[in-house]
């Protein structure tokens, strides 16, 4: 099993072998123009890589729109792609998951992202990347994303699947209300993505610690883990962590709580504040 993470050393050893994308929530050009990895192109999730007609943010685009966006970013099937971001990996993971869901088989996330590059004392680039369109063609691949109807089937016991909420525990318990209704989808388990991240390095915790934390998922390979968060971004980060330890039967509920909480007919639960 190959790792979904690419080390900085591996990128530096063959920099010309990679299409480099910087994943960004908004796609604002100012931070990118001020300094980015050499040869990188800016992949904005809110505008380039989402469905503008959808009622909820960051909704996965259709194959045609994704093809157009990826070709403009220079992505091709035969060339490996590495993605980084400026935060804790969730934006890069979302682009990684999108590319996998549309058929790219050589896509990785840069371990440590921009912070790792800067920590090494490497220079940033301020020149625009050469405009070389790619030839990537998106092919919708089942199994990566699920919709609300599928989650309802999970709740009805029609799939050997469990729901996993990857948001912070106060949000899961309903102590903090960030969406239309507080709480979580009924029957959900909770393991926050943030608990997989080292607060000092902003990368995944050590491999032994990650293996220990994710052992319940490793021990149940027959179960499909349906991950959700607010809008399918942090859930992609958790999918990356599971892929890193070899758990592959994973999907992301794209609408997540933005969609689910907006419909009062859909069941949500609250946990008492004393429940830890």
Spatial distance between the Cα atoms of 143 and 146, rounded to a whole number of angstroms = 7
Tokens for 218, please give them: 């490793």
pLDDT digits (tens, 9 = 90+) for 62-121: 999 999 999 999 999 999 999 999 999 999 999 999 999 999 999 999 999 999 999 999
Band (pLDDT 50/70/90 cuts) for residue 128 is confident
Q: Which residues are catalytic?
A: 229
129 confidence band (pLDDT: 50, 70, 90) = confident
pLDDT in tens, 207-229: 999 999 999 999 999 999 999 99
Q: Is the separation of the CB atoms in 115 and 159 below 8 Å?
A: no
Half-sphere CA count of 67, side-chain side, radius 13 A:
10
Secondary-structure percent of the chain, ordered helix, strand, coil, rounded to 5: 30, 15, 50
**Does residue 276 carry a pLDDT above 50?**
no
Domains in the chain with CATH codes: 5-119 (3.40.250.10), 145-269 (3.40.250.10)
The greatest distance separating any two alpha carbons of the chain, rounded to the nearest whole angstrom, comes to 56
* pLDDT (tens digit per residue) in 25-70: 988 889 999 999 999 999 999 989 999 999 999 999 999 999 999 9
Q: Which two tokens stand for residue 158?
A: 């029609």
* Token code pair at residue 210: 């990650």
Could you tell me which residues are beta bridge partners of residue 81?
19, 107
147-162 pLDDT, tens per residue? 999 999 999 999 999 9
**Backbone phi, psi, residue 272, to 5°:** -65, 150
Q: pLDDT at position 275, please?
A: 39
Q: Compute the mean pLDDT over every residue in the chain, rounded to the nearest whole number.
A: 95
**Residue 244 pLDDT:** 97
274 pLDDT more than 70: no
pTM here?
A: 0.96
**pLDDT average, residue stretch 193-201:** 95
Mean per-residue pLDDT, 241-268: 97
- Nearest-angstrom CA–CA distance, 87 and 113: 8
């Amino acid at each position: 099993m190959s790792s979904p993470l690419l080390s900085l050393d591996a990128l530096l050893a063959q920099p010309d072998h990679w299409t480099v994308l910087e994943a960004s929530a908004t796609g604002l050009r100012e931070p990118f123009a001020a300094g980015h990895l050499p040869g990188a192109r800016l992949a904005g999730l809110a505008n380039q890589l989402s469905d503008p007609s959808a009622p909820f943010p960051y909704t996965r685009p259709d194959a045609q729109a994704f093809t157009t966006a990826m070709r403009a970013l220079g992505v091709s099937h035969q060339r490996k792609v590495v993605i980084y971001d400026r935060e804790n990996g969730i934006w890069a993971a979302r682009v990684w998951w999108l590319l996998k869901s549309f058929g790219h088989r050589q896509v990785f996330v840069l371990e440590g992202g921009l912070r790792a590059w800067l920590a090494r004392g490497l220079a940033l680039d301020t020149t625009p990347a050469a405009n070389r369109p790619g030839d990537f063609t998106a092919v919708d691949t089942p199994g990566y994303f699920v919709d609300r109807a599928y989650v309802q089937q999970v709740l009805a016991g029609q799939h050997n699947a469990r729901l996993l909420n990857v948001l912070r525990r106060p949000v899961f318990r309903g102590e903090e209300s960030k969406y239309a209704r507080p709480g979580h989808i009924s029957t959900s388990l909770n393991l926050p993505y943030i608990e997989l991240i080292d607060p000092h390095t902003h990368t995944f915790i050590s491999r032994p610690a990650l293996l220990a934390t994710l052992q319940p998922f490793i021990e149940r390979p027959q179960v499909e883990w349906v991950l959700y968060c607010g809008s399918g971004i942090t859930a992609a980060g958790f999918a990356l962590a599971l892929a890193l330890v070899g758990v592959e039967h994973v999907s992301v509920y794209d609408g997540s709580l933005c969609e689910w909480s907006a419909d009062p007919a859909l069941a949500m639960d609250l946990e008492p504040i004393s429940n830890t």
